[in-house]
Amino acid sequence: MAWIPSSQIESPSLDWVKARKEKRRPMVAGPGAPVFALPDLIHLDQRLSLDPDQVERLLELSYLGKEGAQGLDHCFSAASDGRWQPELFADDLFLAELIRSSFHVEIDGLRFPINHAFLWSTISNPPDSVEAITFRQDILRELEDEPALLRECRALYRRLSTLLDMFKAPDHAAQLDINAFRLDILRESKAVIDQMTEGFGDARSGLLRLHESGKSMQSAPFYQRLCDLLEYEARRTTLTLSLNIGADGEIKDLRLLDMVENRDNPLFQSMTRQWWLRLKAFFVGSNLSQKAIVQGVLHRVFEEVAPSLVSLVQIAAHLELYLASIGFRDRLRSADLPASLADLEVGSKIELRDLSNPLLLGEQLQPVPCGLALDHDSALTLVTGPNSGGKTRLLQSLGISQLLAQSGLYVPASYAKLPIVRGMFVSLVETETADQAEGRLGRELLKIRSLFAHVGSPSLVILDELCSGTNPAEGVEIFSLVLRLLERMKAGAFVSTHFLDFARSLEQERPLPRLQFLQVEPGKEATSTYQFIPGVAASSLAQETAQRLGVTFDQLSQLMDQQAAREARARLQTDARPLPPHAPDPLGDKASR
């Protein structure tokens, strides 16, 4: 079954992988001239975001049956533009937890494991151009409007997952029959390319790139070689048989009427030719067995197919991004919460309707949607209200919505109009460590320093309980300093605070033109409505909250009395309990005798 010269037949080894790296055919034939169209579904300018050498090396090792390509998942952690600085906001927004709990891909009731590292990297480094964001949104809109196209995407993703699973876990299959394992990989690769070509020809969005890429792959020389191999493997010889079946159902007579070899296939070699190759190899000291010939053929075909496989790995990741966002949308809607695609533009005002915090779903809590609207994109908004009123959850949902919206994905709101920013800074979580050198105020001041050292304009800044780690007089002074610098930076900012007297003085004096004020809408009996209205809260409702939670002097004294009574009853029961009899000493009687 060999059509390659015997001198190029090699046994599977790591040396072959090293040699492949030296003679690998590049994916571009010249400057800007791809061998086939790169199927990039998340960037306007099509690119290969992965390191082709790294990915191809992992695939080759797995193809040889040496080890699984588990490292493929790690190839995506750096596959982003990297313009943002996730360390300034991702942890405080619990982005990893949001992806883990709310983003999923489910097809026909089967939940697929997703690459969290790629989703995290992509969402935490969103594009900053309207065209790039709209490109992604158009794909999601078409998938929502065209259920048949969504089924095609899911079918292609499922087939890609099957192909990648073969690479990630080759050991068992490869040990049983290495050549059958390699043929299965090549067969599945061809099926993926065919499905790309056939399933997306009518797409209007960027999904059309799948069709174009598949079509260009089919026109490449490697594809015809792949077809020849698989066709020859499936139909090397056609036999015509004559069977006679007896009354008992058993075969009584079997005769071979005709045998036609598939001589039209380029891989066909006559028996004489095969024996001649083996005889020639014998005299030059090579072991050119039938198995070695097959292995050499499969190696050469894989060598030509490998560059396209790198692109297929990228397609799987990009499809996963969209399908996981659809899973996020469906999770919200199943909880009777809205999801939509945002309107974004440079300098846009902020308007959100029915905004919810999806992190609450992971905590088995039902979010309460709220809305807000600001006069301009770079407003400095002070948020006031009681503890447990929803301020921190609001700030979290604002940061999450900005990230998801600018990534071109669904946001947890029925309507979202947001500005395009180029960075984000979020401080919501105060973490304690045993080896920290600074106290709470010191850590807060270091965060403020990091904010103005690394964040430019336009940006979104979110600060929760700024300067709460010091006395009010000093805290107000630092608070005022931060507001003045944010005004100078021209950044949009949301800052929550319990410095209510200072906030009211700012509302009256308006020393900064971009200042706006939001307060938690008060409910009945010191409860929160989790809604926000313009203005400054009248009080933090600390006493009312303490009363509601049972933390007043009288309530706590009553709890202490109840605990003392329980302890007294326990002592009385212990004193009244009869002492247990002593166990007899088995040696006592003998000693007395």
**Selected residue with higher pLDDT from 378 and 44:** 44
Partnered with residue 416 across adjacent β-strands are: 352
Rounded Cα gap, residues 491 and 426, in angstroms: 13
Q: Locate 223 and state its tokens.
A: 């594809």
Q: Locate 46 and state its tokens.
A: 């099509």
Confidence bin at 293 (pLDDT 50/70/90): low
Percent of the chain with pLDDT over 90: 38
Q: Is the pLDDT of residue 581 over 90?
A: no
Q: Is the pLDDT of residue 218 over 80?
A: yes
pLDDT at 438: 58
Chain segment 386-421, per-residue pLDDT in tens: 877 889 999 999 999 999 999 999 999 999 999 999
Q: Which range scores top for mean pLDDT: 7-21, 162-176, 200-214, 524-538?
A: 200-214
Q: Locate 32 and state its tokens.
A: 């800007």
Rounded Cα gap, residues 138 and 11, in angstroms: 48
CB 462, CB 399: distance < 8 Å: yes
pLDDT at 192: 94
Rounded Cα gap, residues 485 and 494, in angstroms: 14
Query: Which segments of the chain belong to CATH 3.40.50.300?
Result: 346-549
Q: Which range scores top for mean pLDDT: 45-49, 131-135, 383-387?
A: 131-135
Chain segment 140-151, per-residue pLDDT in tens: 999 999 999 999
Q: Is the pLDDT of residue 588 over 80?
A: no
Rounded Cα gap, residues 139 and 125, in angstroms: 19
Mean pLDDT, the chain, integer:
79
Q: What angle do CA 13, 16, 20 make, to 5 degrees?
A: 150
Residue 126's φ and ψ, nearest 5 degrees, are -75, 160
Q: Locate 49 and state its tokens.
A: 């975001």
Say whether 564 sits in a helix, a strand or coil: helix
pLDDT at 210: 95
Assess if CATH 3.40.1280.10 describes domain 346-549.
Answer: no
Rounded Cα gap, residues 341 and 350, in angstroms: 14
Q: Is the pLDDT of residue 93 over 80?
A: yes
Angle between helix axes 178-199 and 208-218 (nearest 10 degrees) is 130
Q: What is the mean pLDDT of residues 8-30?
A: 41
Q: Which range scores top for mean pLDDT: 16-25, 33-42, 351-360, 429-438?
A: 351-360
Rounded Cα gap, residues 538 and 90, in angstroms: 33
Rounded Cα gap, residues 353 and 338, in angstroms: 9
Rounded Cα gap, residues 264 and 123, in angstroms: 52
CB 495, CB 382: distance < 8 Å: yes
Candidates 408, 315, 321; CA nearest to 38 is 315
Say whether 473 sits in a helix, a strand or coil: helix
Chain segment 461-517, per-residue pLDDT in tens: 999 988 776 677 778 888 888 999 998 888 899 999 888 889 999 999 988 888 999
